[in-house]
Structure formats: structure tokens, C-alpha cells
């Protein structure tokens, strides 16, 4: 009977642990803050999940501040968009807090091309203009869920799913997005597939995308 009691409690604790571990992208902090110390690695570069903490007595307000999201990004590029990030790289105080944000600027008909954030869910708010947004569900459905957003509208992109935005208005557009990770990461589909270093074998991509190998090589050269 005692063994059964221990087994039940073990299973319950395991379930609760899994639930807690999977409830957020980043681990919950165990202290008020852990300002990232970019100089902590010294001679021996230890790979950490996040950054080591700066001495709390040396923490200042600037560690929790960033000035730059009021500045429009340069959209004079092939896709017609620019992303200005406010992640742990720009704000050391975000370390261990599991949140970050970005500003996205779009030229007329500019796009934020299909991409995914492997470590964070994104919630986007349109500040200016009109955006077509959407994400694609995972295999086997691959369902496109999309919507036209206007100023003040909000849309959520679930963690890990491929998503995009396109400016469908007549002028420039601006959006602000928050993400559920201090460092959500970004994988742009076209750049990753056709711009990997070294190249993925052209015959593999040709078969995957049902393209001629010459077209694949051209795309690889482009990216």
C-alpha cells in the first residue's frame, strides 16, 4: 500500500513538473532580476542558457532601458521591411524575464517574409497602416490562418509556426510586437533553406520543392 502511495505521488509530481516546465518559453526567474553580464565569460567561454548575472550592486536604470523604437527602420531593401529589436542584447535587464519586443517598419507593399520564432509566441499590434498577416499550422493540415489588420488591431502568432506580414496600404506601415522570450530567435524560411552555409545539396531541395536543380542553384546564389 505504501509503495502504491509513493508511486501515485511520484506520478503526480512528475505531471506537475512537466506542466510547469512547458507553461512558458523561458524558465521563470528565481530572483528579482538577473541583469546580463556581457563580460562574465572571461578566458573560458561557457555556453549558458541565457547570460550570467551582473553583480546586483552595480545594476543601474540603464540596464532596464532602451531608446530606439521611435526611430523608423530603413526599409530600402529587397523585402521592403526593417525590424528594430529590443531583446536581451539591447536590454540586459531582460535576462531571465522571458519577454522582449520589436518594431517593424514596412514600405508600401513591403513584407516581413515567412519566418518563425523557435523560442517565443508573438503578439503584434498595428500602430500605423494596414497589414495582411497570417500563419500556417503544422503538418499535415498546413492551414493558412490570415487576416487584414488596421491601426489598433492585434494578432497572435503561436510559437514555432511560420508567419508573415505584408503592407497592403497606400503608405508606410508600423507595428510593435511583444514576444514571450528574452531571445526568441528568428528563422527566415527562404534564407535558411537557400542561404545555408554550406549549401544544402541542390538535388535535395529540387526534390523537396519540385523544382529544376538549375533554379535551386540560382536561388542559392541569390540568398
Binding residues for Mn(2+): 115, 117, 122, 163
Q: In this structure, what are the phi and psi dihedrals at residue 81, rounded to the nearest 5 degrees? A: -150, 165
C-alpha cell at 149: 489588420
Feature table: binding site for oxalate: 112, 117, 122
User: CA-to-CA distance for 76 and 99, rounded, in angstroms?
Assistant: 29
Feature table: binding site: 112, 115, 117, 122, 163
- Residue among 117, 105, 113 nearest 182 (CA): 117
CA angle 100/105/108 to nearest 5° reads: 155
Helix (H) or strand (E) holding 135: strand 130-136
Length of the chain: 223
User: CA-to-CA distance for 75 and 112, rounded, in angstroms?
Assistant: 10
Query: Residue 149 contacts by C-beta under 8 Å, 6 or more apart in sequence?
Result: 124, 126, 130, 131, 132, 133, 155
Amino acid at each position: 500500500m505504501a509503495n502504491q502511495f509513493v508511486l501515485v505521488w511520484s506520478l503526480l509530481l512528475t505531471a506537475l513538473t512537466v506542466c510547469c516546465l512547458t507553461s512558458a518559453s523561458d524558465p521563470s526567474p528565481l530572483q528579482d532580476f538577473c541583469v546580463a553580464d556581457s563580460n562574465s565569460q572571461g578566458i573560458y567561454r561557457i555556453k549558458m542558457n541565457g547570460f550570467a548575472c551582473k553583480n546586483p550592486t552595480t545594476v543601474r536604470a540603464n540596464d532596464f532601458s532602451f531608446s530606439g523604437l521611435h526611430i523608423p527602420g530603413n526599409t530600402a531593401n529587397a523585402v521592403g521591411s526593417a525590424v528594430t529589436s529590443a531583446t536581451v542584447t539591447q536590454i540586459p535587464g531582460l535576462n531571465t524575464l522571458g519577454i522582449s519586443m520589436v518594431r517593424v517598419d514596412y514600405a508600401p507593399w513591403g513584407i516581413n517574409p515567412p519566418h518563425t520564432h523557435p523560442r517565443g509566441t508573438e503578439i503584434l499590434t498595428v500602430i500605423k497602416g494596414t497589414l495582411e498577416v497570417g500563419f500556417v499550422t503544422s503538418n499535415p493540415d498546413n492551414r493558412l490562418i490570415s487576416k487584414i489588420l488596421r491601426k489598433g488591431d492585434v494578432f497572435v502568432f503561436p510559437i514555432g509556426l511560420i508567419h508573415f506580414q505584408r503592407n497592403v496600404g497606400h503608405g508606410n506601415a508600423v507595428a510593435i510586437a511583444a514576444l514571450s522570450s528574452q531571445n526568441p530567435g528568428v528563422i527566415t524560411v527562404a534564407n535558411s533553406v537557400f542561404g545555408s552555409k554550406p549549401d544544402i545539396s541542390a538535388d535535395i531541395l529540387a526534390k523537396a520543392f519540385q523544382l529544376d536543380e538549375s533554379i535551386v542553384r540560382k536561388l542559392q546564389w541569390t540568398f
